Chains A and B, each alone.
Chain A
Amino acid sequence: DAGVTQSPTHLIKTRGQQVTLRCSPKSGHDTVSWYQQALGQGPQFIFQYYEEEERQRGNFPDRFSGHQFPNYSSELNVNALLLGDSALYLCASSSGPGSAGEYFGPGTRLLVL
């Protein structure tokens, strides 16, 4: 049983570019959340998708957008990249909103130069 998978594992972009990160949830899970983790800090909630809709959103600008597909996989898009967007981007999945204990993927390390 595969856990949460993310791609790519590492990515280097330059300021102003756009990036798309991908996530496949754990088998049986239908809810996907995205987190940003800066070096040495705890993850910060970006948004959550359930039934292909954004259900909750953290304190992130509109440059951060997402999508969930019918197979529950999800994408995180970041436009007009800033140096401060450099971080580990984590995807987490669970079986429905309200269930505790999300399962995290290994993350995508994004470096913006």
Chain B
Amino acid sequence: GESVGLHLPTLSVQEGDNSIINCAYSNSASDYFIWYKQESGKGPQFIIDIRSNMDKRQGQRVTVLLNKTVKHLSLQIAATQPGDSAVYFCAETRGGYNKLIFGAGTRLAVHP
């Protein structure tokens, strides 16, 4: 079946440390993998995406790694800040349309 899941439901880090949020997916036919950040009371906010034919992509303070061999996706946040505290979702899309399949989410808590 279709599923995009996460290894850890919560992650607590110290301000300034690097954060790594992990995600496992089950369908090898996905076209894109996308990370979203959702703050309380808001809709998901696009962070970064990666095409299925890539294994790494970098943005501002964020890096997404894709390991298709083990169907694993990770989001690395450098120098984590209090404003990074939120729930993070990985999602996948396939089939030429941008229907997103989300996992349950990981809550990131950044402590001063």
Using a CB–CB distance below 8 Å, which chain A residues touch chain B? 4, 31, 33, 35, 40-45, 48, 55-56, 58, 90, 92, 94, 97-107
Contacts and interface: CB of A to CB of B under 8 A. Distances in A.
Question: Shortest 8 CB-CB distances between A and B: which pairs?
Answer: A42-B102, A104-B43, A100-B32, A97-B97, A104-B44, A101-B46, A98-B96, A106-B43
Interface residues of B, number: 26
A100 B98 contact: yes
B51 to A, nearest CB: 8
Given A102-B46, A105-B43, A42 B96 contact: no
Contacts, number: 71
Contacts of A4: 43
A31 B34 CA distance: 18
Contact of A42 (B41, B46, B103): B103
Contact of B49 (A100, A103, A106): A100
A102 B100 contact: yes
Contact of A90 (B43, B49, B96): B43
A90 B44 contact: yes
Nearest to A102: B98
A111 to B, nearest CB: 15
Contact of B43 (A55, A101, A107): A107
A97 B105 contact: no
Contacts of A103: 46
A56 B99 contact: yes
